[in-house]
Chain A
Amino acid sequence: MRSRRFEARERRELNRELLVSPHPELGLVAAAGPRDPEPELLVENGVVVRLDGRASPDFDVIDRFVVAHGLDLDVAAEAMELDDLALGRMLVDVDVPRAELVRLARGLTPAKLARVIGLLDPVELMLALKKLRARRVPSNQAHVTNLKESPALLAADAAEAARRGFAEIETTVGVARYAPLNAISLLIGSQTGRPGVMTQCAVEERRNLELAFRGLVSYAETLSVYGTEPVFVDGDDTPWSKAFLGAAYASRGVKVRFTSGTGSEALMGHAQGLSMLYLEARCLAAVRAAGSQGVQNGSISCVALVLSVPGGTRAILGENVLAAWLDLEVASGNDAIASHSEIRKTAKLMGQFLPGTDFVTSGYSVMPRHDNTFGGGNFDADDIDEWLTIQRDWQVDAGIEPVPENEVLRVRETAARAVQAVFAELGLPPVSDGEVEAATVGYDSTEMPDRDRAADTEAADGLLARGVSGLDVALALDRRGFGEIAEAIVSMQRQRISADYLQTAAVIDADGLVHSAVNDPNVYSGPGTGYRLEGDRWQLLQSLPNVVDPAELLGGEADEEPVVLERGEAAKGADPAEVVVAVGPAFADGIRKTISDQSHRDVLEAICEGIRDGGGQPRLVRICRVADVAFIGHAGAQLSGSGIALGIQSKGTAVIHRVDLEPLDNLELFGMSPLYTLASYRAMGQNAAGYALGRRVGPVPTELDNFARAKLIVRTTLLHARETQAVRPGAATVELELAVPVGSG
């Protein structure tokens, strides 16, 4: 026997995913694994002889690297002595400064770090993250790629990303040889959208260094590290090779961010029975020891694996906190697809979104996700309005700005034209006007004209061979009349020369000023301190293009021809077949339509027709002294010859009332005004006549739409506000008659 409710739930998107119970032997345990070592640090004569359950002869490459370059033995004795819970409380205590926590972290072993983080619940982790973030102001990073590797589309998407406020933009390649072309398109597009935005092209390290040598990229976050030696070695690196690479990038003026994340060791089959959070603590200790200013972490590409085990989402937030505690810039994941379920995905996001991280995502897909060649697109082009709305809902700055459509089109077209010009100037295969147009207005790369990909890759090889540099790109732009973009690219070269963006958590503003943890540190210490979304920035983030000014919706509709004529004060009627139709103060006057867009004339005619069909005699009055539908109906009933009235508000909510009932009682209430058609109003009229004549009456069938409120509550409020404004306390009820429409009769 099956429950159709269970069957329906099984068809939900969520249930495409597999949840598993913990299996520590395979590393499938989020935190506090049964085989995680006890925190341990034994130092003899200034030499570490035991670390987290291992004696020095058994230290693997990661242990050895962390001991040699990371652990601060001057702090270690003091820090390791501290009780786990005491440390945990310090993390959330706004009176313990970030600097003090960062100092202590230098002397903590990976097992101790993981254990303390494991004591915090989700809200405590969020508070700790808010407090420990390196840079004062959170920001965000974009992904810009497309399946066709179309240069015009890459540039247009980069321009839009930059214009929307992303501080960094990352691209990659489908075909490795495209790297220099994609890097150039991204450089041009980013500087078109907003000068100072940093860019990278994620490719194999040697190729990436070649781009760095030429000043075509300004940051790199490709440097992956892992928490066990076999996986590190399978990744074809050691902590020493990665640390060397980091210094090599920095030597060429490239900002370096390492990458790690829970779940990778289990995925690669060498978790050694250890928990994901503990292994990430080992990664982060190595990242800090290697001298990286920051890390991209938060599970990244393994997120769906971590979410398969209990506590996965909490562990991912925990690893972000751990990185921040180690004084690293954090680009906090949320890039790879975490779940099929929009609810689950968004719930996970809140861990980083609400406290704010240095980069809330390490790649928001500015284009539709199927063009995302990172395999990312957890949040994409179609989700931008949601993201902006959630920022507005929480009054939180998660790094994306609203931009009007015409402005987006402008920067997209300019960037595509600029790339067209640079390709022509550098002798690369031409970018057609058709490509520029499609890149400006198109939805995705399927709308892009196909290019000769063999010619493109050949040209890309040629670019590297010719040594084309960022300065050459600036010159090409300058020659073709794109002076401002050329200036912005020269400005990025100046940044490379002063190298200020190599400091922790650096971003560059539109005026070329670097903001990092050195000159713009996070100093949050409780309410009233740190970065708060207020002032001009709050105005910007709340003013979405689709926001409506209520004053506009409140505007009158004055010059229309009258629907009803007023005929003096209404008296009590005597006709036993009479049904009073009592309308609200603004009905067919200041307001002319119901919320479902029915004109008040049509509504009145339908009601009157229904009353006559039912054998009754309609009579129209306006209640001027109240706006509540119950009182309108009740007041009408007092004047009705039959004692029955149909009360109706301007928004279309109606009630059938009887003279002897309490005001808030009724015969039938029609509260779902958005759903009523003219046939509904006719049926209400018929029922009212039925009550007047003492017949048996079945209630008017009504539908239920539970979304009507969410959709229309604002309009309801505004319409009701106008009705209320039209109320004249103590005013007499007015007799009405339908005006003859102009042009009829």
Chain B
Amino acid sequence: MSFDPTRDYPLGSRRPDLVSTLGGTPLAEVTLEAVRAGRISARDARATPETLRRQAAVASAAGRQPLAESLERAAELALVPDGELLEIYTSLRPGRSTAAQLESWAARLDGYGAERTAAFVREAAGVYGQRGLLTRA
């Protein structure tokens, strides 16, 4: 059955069939027993990009466009490694990066298929340039 963002929320209780871990375990099989048996690892026990996109669709259907945008970015970031998330965040803080450094992060995000987030970083670089929030090379 296809996903209907106006009816299928909460996914966990209404559409568990659509939800799985990052490692592909269906939600219904995420149990203490499965954890005991080592079938679920900590790295896997979080939302997939698909789940986050569905949450974005739910937010959008509820008229919350900026929240939907943020959840779309979250969907893109779900597969970006932890360490790089921290580095991108730090590089976006004021006075941390040159325009070129931000552009290289944007390119890296493009490489992960995180196009919206890449555009967001490029947009930031443009504004930072106009507001004196870049470092000099």
Contact = CB atoms under 8 A, between A and B. Distances in A.
A69 to B, nearest CB: 6
A346 interface: no
Interface residues of B, number: 62
A473 to B, nearest CB: 10
A498 B27 contact: yes
Contacts of B41: 471
Interface residues of A, number: 75
Interface in A55-71: 60-61, 64-65, 68-70
Nearest to B21: A497
Interface string B74-112: 111110101001101110111100000000000000000
A342 interface: no
A498 B70 contact: no
A60 B131 contact: yes
Contacts of B58: 503, 518
A187 interface: no
Contact of A471 (B45, B64, B131): B45
B58 to A, nearest CB: 6
A505 to B, nearest CB: 11
Given A240-B123, A490-B30, A497-B46, A291 B70 contact: yes
Nearest to A489: B32
Interface string A84-103: 00000000000000010011
Interface in B10-51: 10-13, 16, 19-21, 27, 30-32, 35-36, 40-42, 45-47, 51
B131 A503 contact: no
Contacts, number: 211
Nearest to A249: B74
A236 B93 contact: yes
A189 to B, nearest CB: 19
A496 B47 contact: yes
A243 B70 contact: yes
Residue among B19, B62, B74, B90 facing the most chain A CB atoms (10 A cut-off):
B74
B104 to A, nearest CB: 16
Nearest to B77: A251
A432 interface: no
Given A292-B67, A502-B71, A494 B30 contact: yes
B12 A500 contact: yes
Contacts of A292: 67, 70
Given A238-B92, A497-B21, A69 B66 contact: yes
B129 to A, nearest CB: 12
Contact of A251 (B65, B74, B86, B95): B74
Nearest to B15: A498
Contacts of A289: 66
A241 B89 CA distance: 6
Contacts of B59: 503-504, 518
A516 B67 CA distance: 14
A517 B9 CA distance: 11
A205 B82 CA distance: 13
A224 interface: no
A247 B70 contact: yes
A695 to B, nearest CB: 86
A288 B70 CA distance: 10
Contacts of B86: 206, 209
Contact of B82 (A69, A103, A213, A288): A213
Contacts of B52: 250-251, 499, 502
B89 to A, nearest CB: 5
A514 B10 contact: yes
A249 B69 CA distance: 14
A355 B74 CA distance: 33
B51 A499 contact: yes
Contacts of A233: 94-95, 133
Interface in A485-517: 486-487, 490, 493-500, 502-504, 512-514, 516-517
Interface string A465-491: 001011110110010000100110010
Residue among B9, B40, B76, B90 facing the most chain A CB atoms (10 A cut-off):
B9
B46 to A, nearest CB: 5
A630 to B, nearest CB: 67
A60 B89 CA distance: 21
Given A251-B77, A504-B67, 4 more contacts: A68-B123, A240-B92, A499-B47, A499-B51
Interface of A: 60-61, 64-65, 68-70, 72, 99, 102-103, 205-206, 209-210, 213-215, 229, 232-233, 236-238, 240-241, 243-253, 256, 288-293, 327, 467, 469-472, 474-475, 478, 483, 486-487, 490, 493-500, 502-504, 512-514, 516-519
8 contacts: A206-B86, A233-B133, A248-B77, A500-B9, A500-B10, A500-B12, A503-B62, A514-B12
Across the A-B interface, give the 9 residue pairs with the lowest CB-CB distance, nearest first: A291-B70, A498-B12, A469-B42, A240-B124, A250-B74, A247-B73, A241-B92, A251-B77, A500-B10
